Every structure is written in C-alpha cells, then in structure tokens.
Amino acid sequence: MAPRPVRPPRAARTVALAALLLATGTACGGQAEAPAAEVAQQSTALDRIGTLSVRTAQGPRACTASVVRSPGHNLLVTAAHCVQSRRIGLLDGLVFTPGYRNGFTPYGSWPVRSITVDPRWADDDDPEYDVAFVTVGPVGGKEVEDAVGGNPIATSQGFGLAVSVTGYPNERDEPITCAARTRSQSPTQERFDCAGYTDGTSGSPWVTDGGAVIGVIGGYQEGGETPGTSYSVTFDQRVAALYQEATT
C-alpha cells in the first residue's frame, strides 16, 4: 500500500477541522511495508469502541474513542487533539456512538459532557500530553459503561507488548483492527506498525491481551503522518494523574 501524501502542518489541519465542524479527523501514520489492518469482527468487547462525531452518529466524524472503567461509569479515553486545540479551544457538540457499523447504532449516541486534558496540552498542544478523558451523559437513564462495559487503564507497562488496535477510518463505515506489538519511539512515546490507520483513527485504544488500554493513537505527529505507523504517548504517571483528575 503506497504511503499517503504528507499532511499539512498540525495547526493548519486544526483550523480546517474547526471550519468544517470536524468534517475530517486527524490522520494516523504509516509505511507501505506494514501489514494491513482488517475489518473488525463484531464482539461485545469491541462495542466499547466507537466514533466521535458532531451532533449525531451520522454527523461529520472526528475520531475514535473507547469506554474505560471509572467510578462514574461514564468515561472515555481518546487523543487530546481530537477534542481540543490551542487555537480553537474545546470542540463542541460531540457525541460518542459505541459499536457503530454501517449506520447501525446498537447503543445509541452518548453526548459529551466534559473533557479533561493536561494543561500542557491545553496551553501549547504539547505532543507529550496528547491524551484526553471524556465524560458522556446518560442515555435512557443508563451510563455508557453499564451498557457496553469498559476496559481498565494500565500504566508503566513497558514496550514490546502485544496489542489489538481498533479504530474508525473516516472513509469507512465499519471499524478496522490489527494485532501488533508496541515499540519504543522515545522514552515517552511508542509506536506500532500496521497499514490502514488513516484520518478518523486518532484516539483508537491500544488494548493488551488482558484487556487493558495502554495507549491511544496520538502523541508524536498527532498519531502519525502516514497510515502504516501510528504513535501514542506512553501511558505512565502523566496519564495516571490525568485519569485521577478526570474521576475525582
């Protein structure tokens, strides 16, 4: 698979994103020789992953997010650049649709109520803090974790872990998934190689065989500049502190 053209600078993409009400999301990167992702088979665990879109499930799509365990049973994790940028602030009107496929919304769409990002992301779009925790409101009197379950957040797990990464490219109406192994990009950033992770897959969770989320597509190059290599902030004390803030 040939690499996608290099995208414009991050700030320019963010301005375009706001102007189009998230009509396109952020890209996630790669190399032509990387193995290709496949269509994700429907499962209860994968239904914890869904789209972030504007106003409705069929609205302009932004990114991918997933449900994580929390005391309020209402918490998602995604990339910070999916929900806020220094130039335009918080993005309004987002909804989360878990398990979305081909226009079908088995659990409905859950309105975003609050967003927690590190001040260093809010002030300077620092890629070392490109993670966000998002709370959503109830639907039909039920919290999202009670509807679909949630994965635990795990930190300080090291590199070289087997993960499954599932996300929603904007050009598709169903998710893709890939089994890969994490590698060190730097002491605070990691990567995996698998083709197909294009615009819309930012925020896709990196899930271990034990079911823990240890990363989300984002961080370096806002997740990557070509569809075969994707990045994440290493989930360490930075993410643990942000999770604590979002849940207290």
The residue with greater pLDDT, 38 or 226, is 226
pLDDT above 90: residue 18: no
pLDDT at 111: 98
Domains of the chain: 10-246 (2.40.10.10)
Cα distances (Å, whole numbers) of residue 235 to 53, 76, 175, 214, 216: 25, 15, 24, 6, 9
First and final C-alpha spacing in the chain: 45
20 pLDDT tier (thresholds 50, 70, 90): very low
pLDDT at 86: 82
143: exposed, middle or buried (Cβ count in 10 Å: 0-12, 13-18, 19+): buried
State pLDDT tens for residues 161-220.
Answer: 999 999 999 999 999 999 999 999 999 999 999 999 999 999 999 999 999 999 999 999
The residue with greater pLDDT, 9 or 230, is 230
Query: d(Cα 248, Cα 236) in Å, to the nearest integer?
Result: 19
Query: d(Cα 77, Cα 48) in Å, to the nearest integer?
Result: 11
21 pLDDT tier (thresholds 50, 70, 90): very low
Query: d(Cα 128, Cα 188) in Å, to the nearest integer?
Result: 7
State pLDDT tens for residues 127-156.
Answer: 999 999 999 999 999 999 999 999 999 999
Percent of the chain with pLDDT over 90: 78
State pLDDT tens for residues 69-122.
Answer: 999 999 999 999 999 988 778 888 999 999 999 999 999 999 999 999 999 999
pLDDT above 80: residue 43: no
Question: Residue 39, Cβ neighbours under 10 Å: how many?
Answer: 12
pLDDT above 80: residue 31: no
6 pLDDT tier (thresholds 50, 70, 90): very low
pLDDT above 80: residue 33: no
8 pLDDT tier (thresholds 50, 70, 90): very low
pLDDT at 87: 77
